[in-house]
């Protein structure tokens, strides 16, 4: 079986699987990193969002073959102790309800803030148009992003 | 709610952590599945090292129950908020006969009183033990921050030091409850306790369960209703790397062929390679557009009487100013973000299950039945739920995993893909309301005639011939919600229900029967107001006079509370003030109100913009007044109301489910549209406490959304949409 090497949260991981296996299932089934969620498997819900360097990718839409040799960060690696400004802002604003989509949302927000220090609501809307929260926590997500942005600026 | 049985069990248990004292309170309540069902209970343990353990007797699906219950416990017991450990109750064992089902916005209502009584009993026993040790009257003691204090001297002792003595005392039968003014947490905005686990990805949902040697399974499911498996060829599928077994599955609502593999992807690849032959069954031709047309004709069929007052038919026959309208609500899906899934491990005559479920008791019962073992040999572990909304009140996805685990002798996790989840749910059934009224005029009593055509939700059953003869048959159930408990004081009222079923499995969906019936009722009131030249809020207030309590036997509707939320909605929305003029947009406001199951009242005002060429509809703002009585956790209630509004908006402006050739056509969020960030309006929630006891709040704010928006659209552009969802195409046709 083919062998692939990826860097996940700073650790080199070697996996054996079919070349077309989506990164999502490698993370969840092989590496037991279940913070990255399956929501649709077709890139329309955003629940499986991770970082590849500083850009966001839908881990269900990138195969392990494409991912080979690249470096990824998942929610488990966003901070050591849940202290990333987005994570703390999410708690401050009491965003999560069922919480299932929120790791994808947080990864998206963290990436947005590295590019745009003080995003407008319109920029947030555009950035998050690929995400679904069936509990409808969008208003609090917006607030949390503004809060995280403010804390990063200060 | 009536408590029919109450018993306390006190036990001392030798454990590695020390001795523990347990308090248990069982309540079997008025079990009526058709209305709201409350059979609450609680379980508390306090250890010698001061840890207080609370077993959550409801599933956490985002409503915040795993935060709310410890709040109640901490206040009533005087426990240290930081030393409470929340465990999830499992059916059976010490929870035999205890309700764990999570439904009907009942997580707070159904547990509040029982948990308080249990905690108060524990408090009295701890106080008695401390008072005895100090030789002081118990009445001079209280509990606070996990210890007993003697008020006059200021002496204090931690719970852990006295639990062993307390456990030997008799359990008080009717302990005094704390005065609510002494609560320190209840009524305050408290953040979710599991927030940290969620934002770090450590929270465990059903799909995150991993067991040693576990296989992953996906099913190829029936192509249409009633289709039966004829044969399958697994040769190609077995060639996919990692595929271990290909097996037929006979349980659940969408049977088929399962592919079991070492990983999810291998199982999915194997499934794609399956060759299956199906026979066409009953329902293979089902088409929801045709069904909707049939339902319209259903209004002509004789129905079951729901409400009767005065002589509506006679009055309407002699009226000249009559208004008619027919409203339609389509099939909807739950589309929880975490798709259905279950992990089962069957071995040695025992079965362990891990499932995100709202009905663990049913999961246990069905598993025991399937395996032919007793229920005590089935352990159900309830994980966090990635959304429930009523879908997980069915355990159909549990036996699938059980059946497969039994067959292969290993733990098996069954994953429903998003497409499976869209196509094989228990859908919100469609609803048609045919309404007729006499326009109100000075001195002329109102006349209201309603024919409600809809599916009996499968939880409710179908009335028999005998039932049909009984006028009160539906009144007994209080169904259909929104028709039966129509709050308005209508002099002449006739309402009938005409059951109209399809082969589609249906079930409760957030706010159950209200969405369709309240959309119709509150739109129709608006139409009456406009036709009569009355203000929509003023007319509602008038229809709710004299602000009394409408006694419908199975429930009571407090008209004054509904009037109050309407008044507040008018004030907070500056109702009546002129909206600005915009070059490209028509603007309008709309209102709606509803009472959810007698104890939760809500009024919505929507502000909507409709592009002048009718090519777009934007809901800009929704103001919602929620009166669910005592607001236990205002932050949680606001969150649930915000959530309910987005839920309601998704079905108002977004997708619906179409069936063709006996199969749902939608596959994912790409073709079943839900509200996303970019069409989220500004939402303003105001909590009004109209009662001293708590009501439900998970669903209250759903039903008013669609009519408030439809009424606002009419106010903006003069177009009345009576079939949901509201789309630019429908505006063009209106």
Q: How far is A154 from chain B (nearest CA, A)?
A: 22
- Does pLDDT of B95 surpass 50? yes
B206-282+340-415 and B289-331+427-733 share one CATH topology?
A: yes
Question: pLDDT tens digits, residue range B129-143?
Answer: 999 999 999 999 999
**Domain limits, chain B:** 6-199, 206-282+340-415, 289-331+427-733
Which CATH topology does B206-282+340-415 take? Answer: Aldehyde Oxidoreductase; domain 4 (3.30.365)
Predicted confidence band at B38 (pLDDT cuts at 50, 70, 90)? very low
pLDDT score, position B472: 53
User: Is B386 in Cβ contact with A40 (below 8 Å)?
Assistant: no
Q: Does B702 touch chain A (CB under 8 A)?
A: no
Tokens standing for residue B399 = 């036996």
Q: Collect all residues of chain A within an 8 Å Cβ-Cβ radius of residue B418.
A: 39-42, 45
pLDDT(B1) > 80: no
B673–A contact, CB cutoff 8 A: no
A87 touches B184 (CB < 8 A): no
Nearest residue of A to residue B421 by CA position?
Answer: A40
Q: Which CATH number fits domain B289-331+427-733: 3.30.365.10, 3.40.50.300, 3.40.50.2000, 1.10.20.10?
A: 3.30.365.10
Whether the CB-CB separation of B619 and B608 falls below 8 Å is answered with yes
CATH class of B6-199: alpha beta
- Picking from B420, B358, B348, the residue whose alpha carbon sits closest to that of residue B384 is B358
**Contact yes or no for B192 and A141 at CB 8 A:** no
CB contact under 8 A, A87 and B676: no
Mean pLDDT to the nearest integer, B626-632: 97
Counting one residue from chain A and one from chain B, the pairs whose CB atoms sit within 8 A come to 193
DSSP secondary structure, B464-533, as one string: -HHHHH-TTHHHHHT-STTTTT--S--SEEEEEEEE---SS-B---TTTTHHHHHHHHHHHHHHHHHHHT
Is A70:A59 a contact under the CB 8 Å cutoff?
no
pLDDT in tens, A48-62: 999 999 899 999 999
Inter-residue contact B718 to B587 (CB < 8 Å): no
Quick check: B638 pLDDT over 70?
yes
Question: Best interface-test mutation with B: which of A1, A38, A108 has the largest number of B CBs within 10 A?
Answer: A38
Which whole number is the average pLDDT over B77-99? 90
Contact yes or no for B206/B246 (Cβ under 8 A): no
pLDDT in tens, A112-124: 999 999 999 999 9
Parallel, antiparallel or unpaired: strands B492-499 and B447-454: parallel
Whole-number pLDDT of residue B281: 87
The nearest CA of chain B is from the CA of A45 a distance in Å of: 7
Interface contact flag, B195 A90, Cβ < 8 Å:
yes
How far apart (Å, rounded) are the C-alpha atoms in residues B511 and B702?
6
Cα torsion B78, B84, B86, B91 to 10°: value is -50
B385 interaction partners in chain A (CB closer than 8 Å): 98
End-to-end CA distance of chain A: 50
| Facing A29 at nearest CB: one of B264, B668, B669 | B264
Burial class (CB in 10 A: 0-12, 13-18, 19+), A87: buried
Instruction: Fold for A3-78, please state it.
Output: Ubiquitin-like (UB roll) (3.10.20)
The yes-or-no verdict on residue B108 having pLDDT over 60 is yes
- B400-439 pLDDT per residue, tens: 999 999 999 999 999 999 999 999 999 999 999 999 999 9
Interface contact A45-B646, CB threshold 8 A: no
Strands B350-355 and B378-382 come out as: parallel
Given an 8 Å threshold on Cβ–Cβ distance, is B385 in contact with A98?
yes
Segment B211-243, tens digit of pLDDT? 999 999 999 999 999 999 999 999 999 999 999
- The answer, yes or no, to whether residue B29 has pLDDT greater than 70, is no
Residue A154: predicted pLDDT: 86
Contacts of A100 in chain B (CB under 8 A): 205, 336-338, 384, 386-387
Q: Do A34 and B646 touch (CB under 8 A)?
A: no
Which pLDDT score, from 0 to 100, does residue B170 have? Answer: 83
A44 contacts B670? CB cut-off 8 A: yes
Q: Name beta bridge partners: B170.
A: none
What mean pLDDT do residues B341-357 have? 98
Q: What is the pLDDT of residue B9?
A: 31
Q: Which residues of B touch A28 (CB under 8 A)?
A: 208, 264
pLDDT band at B110 (very low <50, low <70, confident <90, very high): confident
Cross-chain Cβ contact A45/B264 below 8 Å: no
For B299-318, what is the mean pLDDT?
91
Residue B272, helix vs strand vs coil: helix
CA contacts within 13 A on the Cβ side of B731? 24
Tokens of B56: 């959550």
**Two tokens, residue B575:** 């109702």
Q: Is B338 at the interface with chain A, CB within 8 A? A: yes
Q: What pLDDT sits at residue B475? A: 56
Q: Which residues of chain A neighbour B64 with C-beta distances below 8 Å?
A: 97
Model confidence at A83: pLDDT above 80? yes
| Position B25 pLDDT exceeds 90 | no
Residue B687 has a pLDDT of 98
Asked if B642 reaches chain A (Cβ–Cβ under 8 Å), the answer is: yes
- Check A96 against B646: CB less than 8 A apart: no
Indicate the average pLDDT of chain B: 90
**B274-293 average pLDDT score:** 95
pLDDT digits (tens, 9 = 90+) for B463-488: 556 655 554 555 567 889 999 999 99
**Do residue B62 and residue A101 have CB atoms under 8 angstroms apart?**
no
Task: Answer whether B635 sits within 8 Å of A32, measured CB to CB.
Answer: no
Query: Any idea which residue has 């509150």 for tokens?
Result: B522
Residue of A nearest to B242 (CA): A17
What was the pLDDT predicted at B467?
55
User: What pLDDT is recorded for position B502?
Assistant: 87
Closest residue in A to B510 (Cα) is A135
Q: Note the pLDDT of residue B200.
A: 98
Asked if A91 lies within 8 A of B196 by C-beta distance, the reply is yes
pLDDT of residue B27: 31
Looking up tokens 């029982």 gives: B114
Least confidently predicted of B1-10, B18-27, B289-298, B616-625: B1-10
pLDDT of residue B304: 85
Domain boundaries, chain A: 3-78, 85-153
* Interchain contact, B200 vs A35, CB within 8 Å: yes
The minimum CA-CA distance between B243 and chain A, rounded to whole Å, is: 12
ipTM for the complex shown: 0.98
* pLDDT score of B645 more than 80: yes
Taking contacts as CB-CB distances below 8 angstroms, the residues of chain B near A92 are 191
DSSP A129-150: TT---TT--HHHHHHHHHHHHH
CATH code 1.10.150.120 for A85-153? yes
> Over 50: is that where the pLDDT of B30 sits?
no
Within 8 A of A136 by CB-CB distance, chain B residues are 642-647, 649-650, 675, 680
Q: What is the mean pLDDT of residues B714-733?
A: 97
Q: Would the pLDDT of B163 be above 50?
A: yes
Residues B201, A96: C-beta atoms closer than 8 Å = no
In which band, very low, low, confident or very high, does the pLDDT at B715 lie, cut at 50, 70 and 90? very high
The Cα B407–Cα B398 span in angstroms is 15
CB < 8 Å from A in window 443-502 of B: none
- Residue B12 pLDDT exceeds 70: no
pLDDT exceeds 50 at position B693: yes
Which residues of B fall within a CB distance of 8 Å from A17?
Answer: 242, 263, 265
């Amino acid at each position: 079986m083919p062998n692939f090497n990826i860097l996940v949260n700073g650790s080199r991981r070697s996996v054996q699987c079919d070349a077309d296996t989506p990164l999502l299932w490698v993370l969840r089934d092989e590496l037991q990193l279940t913070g990255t969620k399956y929501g649709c498997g077709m890139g329309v819900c955003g629940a499986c969002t991770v970082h590849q360097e500083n850009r966001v990718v839908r881990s269900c839409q990138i195969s392990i073959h494409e991912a080979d040799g690249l470096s990824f960060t998942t929610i488990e690696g966003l901070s050591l102790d849940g202290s990333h400004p987005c994570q703390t802002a999410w708690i401050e604003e009491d965003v999560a309800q069922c919480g299932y989509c929120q790791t994808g949302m947080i990864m998206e927000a963290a990436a947005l803030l590295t590019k745009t220090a003080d995003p407008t609501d319109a920029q947030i809307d555009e950035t998050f148009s690929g995400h679904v929260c069936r509990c409808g926590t969008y208003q609090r997500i917006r607030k949390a992003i503004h809060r995280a942005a403010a804390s990063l600026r200060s | 709610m009536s408590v029919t049985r109450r018993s306390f069990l006190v036990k001392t248990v030798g454990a590695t952590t020390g001795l523990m004292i347990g308090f248990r309170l069982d309540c079997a309540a008025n079990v009526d599945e058709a209305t709201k069902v409350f059979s609450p209970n609680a379980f508390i343990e306090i250890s010698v090292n001061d840890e207080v353990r609370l077993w959550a007797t409801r599933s956490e699906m985002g409503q915040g129950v795993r935060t709310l219950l410890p709040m109640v416990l901490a206040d009533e017991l005087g426990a240290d908020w930081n030393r409470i450990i929340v465990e999830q109750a499992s059916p059976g064992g010490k929870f035999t006969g205890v309700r764990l089902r999570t439904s009907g916005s009942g997580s707070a209502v159904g547990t509040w009183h029982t948990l308080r009584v249990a905690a108060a009993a524990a408090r009295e026993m701890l106080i008695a033990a401390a008072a005895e040790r100090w030789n002081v009257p118990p009445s001079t003691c209280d509990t606070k921050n996990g210890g007993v204090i003697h008020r006059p001297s200021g002496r204090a002792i931690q719970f852990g030091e006295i639990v062993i003595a307390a456990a030997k005392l008799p359990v008080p039968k009717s302990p005094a409850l704390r005065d609510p003014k002494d609560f320190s947490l209840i009524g305050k905005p408290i953040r979710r306790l599991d927030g940290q686990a969620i934002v770090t990805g450590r929270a465990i949902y059903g799909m995150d369960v991993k067991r040693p040697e576990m296989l992953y399974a996906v099913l190829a499911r029936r192509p249409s209703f009633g289709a039966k498996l004829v044969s399958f060829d697994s040769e190609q599928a077995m060639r996919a790397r990692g595929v271990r077994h290909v097996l037929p599955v006979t349980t659940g609502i969408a049977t088929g062929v399962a592919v079991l593999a070492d990983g999810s992807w291998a199982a999915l690849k194997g499934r794609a390679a399956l060759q299956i032959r199906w026979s066409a069954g009953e329902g293979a031709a089902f088409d929801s557009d045709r069904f909707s047309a049939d339902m319209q004709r259903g209004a002509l069929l004789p129905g079951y009487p729901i409400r009767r007052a005065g002589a509506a038919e006679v009055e309407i026959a002699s009226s000249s100013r009559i208004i008619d309208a027919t409203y339609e609500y389509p099939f909807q899906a739950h589309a929880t973000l975490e798709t259905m899934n279950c992990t089962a491990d069957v071995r040695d005559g025992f079965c362990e299950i891990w499932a995100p479920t709202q009905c663990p008791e049913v999961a246990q019962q069905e598993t025991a039945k399937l395996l032919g073992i007793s229920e005590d040999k089935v352990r159900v572990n309830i994980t966090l739920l990635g959304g429930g909304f009523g879908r997980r009140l069915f355990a159909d996805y549990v036996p699938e995993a059980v059946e497969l685990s039994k067959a292969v002798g290993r733990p098996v996790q069954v994953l429903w893909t998003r497409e499976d989840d869209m196509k094989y749910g228990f859908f919100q059934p469609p609803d048609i309301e045919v309404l007729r009224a006499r326009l109100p005029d000075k001195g002329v009593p109102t006349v209201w005639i309603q024919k409600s055509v809809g599916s009996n939700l499968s939880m409710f059953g179908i009335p028999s011939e005998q039932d049909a003869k009984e006028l009160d048959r539906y009144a007994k159930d209080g169904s259909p919600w929104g028709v039966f408990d129509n709050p308005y004081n209508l002099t002449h009222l006739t309402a009938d229900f005409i059951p109209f079923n399809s082969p589609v499995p249906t079930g409760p969906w957030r706010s159950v029967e209200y969405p369709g019936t309240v959309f119709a009722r509150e739109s129709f009131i608006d139409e009456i107001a406009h036709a009569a030249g009355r203000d929509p809020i003023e007319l509602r207030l008038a229809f709710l006079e004299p602000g009394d309590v409408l006694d419908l036997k199975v429930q009571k509707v407090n008209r004054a509370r509904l009037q109050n939320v309407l008044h507040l909605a008018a004030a907070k929305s500056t109702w009546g003030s002129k909206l600005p003029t915009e070059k490209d947009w028509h603007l309008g406001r709309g209102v709606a109100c509803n009472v959810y199951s007698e104890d939760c009242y809500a009024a919505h005002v929507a502000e909507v913009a409709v592009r002048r060429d009718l090519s777009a509809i934007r809901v800009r703002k929704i103001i919602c007044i929620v009166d669910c009585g005592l607001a236990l956790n205002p932050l949680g209630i606001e969150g649930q109301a915000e959530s309910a509004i987005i839920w309601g908006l998704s079905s108002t402006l977004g997708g619906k489910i179409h069936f063709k050739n006996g199969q749902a056509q939608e596959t994912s969020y790409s073709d079943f549209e839900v509200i996303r960030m970019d069409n989220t309006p500004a939402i303003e929630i105001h909590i009004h406490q109209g009662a001293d006891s708590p009501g439900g709040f998970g669903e209250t704010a759903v039903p008013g959304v669609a009519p408030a928006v439809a009424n606002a659209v009419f106010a903006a552009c003069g177009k009345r949409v009576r079939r949901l969802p509201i789309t630019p195409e429908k505006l063009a046709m209106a």
